[in-house]
Structure 1
């Protein structure tokens, strides 16, 4: 018998990157599913994505501040390092910038570095079919696949038709990441 107090094993840490999309306000669904699967969760929002979420509710749910901007040198890191990343919902803009290696926001900087760190990453695109028809989109998805990014199955919705929020499966992010995280290194 050890004299040490019982220590809980450290939970894996999931970054949820949230982009500016009409369904972003439902990101709490993904956070709940992740927490039920024994993850700790921190949210990183694109600057525009902040306007689509209830920051106070998300911070209460996760216990961590939402990150959206770079911290100053010497400031403490508000989130632990990520064991995995889920980008949900992922917009046309974020997907294309990420695939091109553009790092002009904290969210994109984290995503661009995740490749170099080997952090398992899943993306759940949410965009309309007019955006998806642009050749840059299919090229960007191909580049992300080549980088090992796991891509959700959501089919783009018709433009100006109210979106497809009822078909968006938040839990798919964890479904994609689970086999990746349980594979032998």
Structure 2
């Protein structure tokens, strides 16, 4: 079975994460869920159910250096939704959160990485976002942004997050890495 690390930050689509886990499992993935601390707070009422669903602890904090790993080794990573802060921190190597730290290290380990930003059009106009997306792409991360991925909406506007595109992309990333 292929192990998928599903990492998410605090953007509205993270509230749909249980159905994404189920969709990934239906495709044959063993899913381990990691969240930014803010996303973990948003999902706190669902944490027991998410752990039952995945069969793994949900992680949002770094483990102690002497603690054993509680997840199997990742075969592929999907970081979605990835907020403006997450994308910029990751591209700059600012690893103050577990999930961003793992994603940054995964680049060096050669683990296939797919991310789908979730930013509104106001954030998208900030020059740092385009630079960070370009930087991540140059490091080999598949960034699903723009046509064929996530297209920013106006602030306050809600559109369905294209989870299916993200799940299709991790399948492609796994097949090209083997």
Q: Which residue in the other structure is 2:128 paired with?
A: 136
- How far is the alpha carbon of 1:179 from its aligned partner? 2.1
Contact 1:90 1:125 in 2 (8 A): yes
1:179 aligned to 160, 163, 172, which one? Answer: 172
Matched ranges for 1:56-95 at <5 A = 56-95=48-87
Residue segments in structure 1 that go unaligned for 5+ positions in a row: 1-10
Aligned mates of 1:37, 1:84 — CA distance in 2: 13
Q: Which residue in the other structure is 2:7 paired with?
A: 17
Matched ranges for 1:152-167 at <5 A = 152=144, 153-161=149-157, 163-164=158-159, 166=160
TM-score (norm 1): 0.88
The answer on 1:106 being equivalent to 2:98 is yes
May I ask how many residue pairs the two structures share in their alignment? 172
Contact 2:60 2:99 in 1 (8 A): yes
Q: Which residue in the other structure is 1:5 paired with?
A: none
Runs of 4+ aligned residues of structure 1 deviating over 3 Å after TM superposition are none
Q: Secondary structure of the residue that 1:159 maps to in structure 2?
A: coil
- How far is the alpha carbon of 1:184 from its aligned partner? 6.0
Matched ranges for 1:140-151 at <5 A = 140-151=132-143
Sort the Cα spacing of 1:184 and 1:71 in 2 relative to 1 into closer, same or farther, 3 A. Answer: closer
Query: Looking at CA atoms only, which structure, 1 or 2, has the larger radius of gyration?
Result: 1
- How far is the alpha carbon of 1:74 from its aligned partner? 2.2
Give per-residue Cα distances to partners, 1:127-172, cap 9 Å, x unaligned.
Answer: 10000110000000101111111122110111123x22x2x12122
Aligned mates of 1:127, 1:57 — CA distance in 2: 27
Aligned mates of 1:26, 1:184 — CA distance in 2: 28
User: Larger helix proportion, structure 1 or 2?
Assistant: 2
Matched ranges for 1:42-53 at <5 A = 42-53=32-43
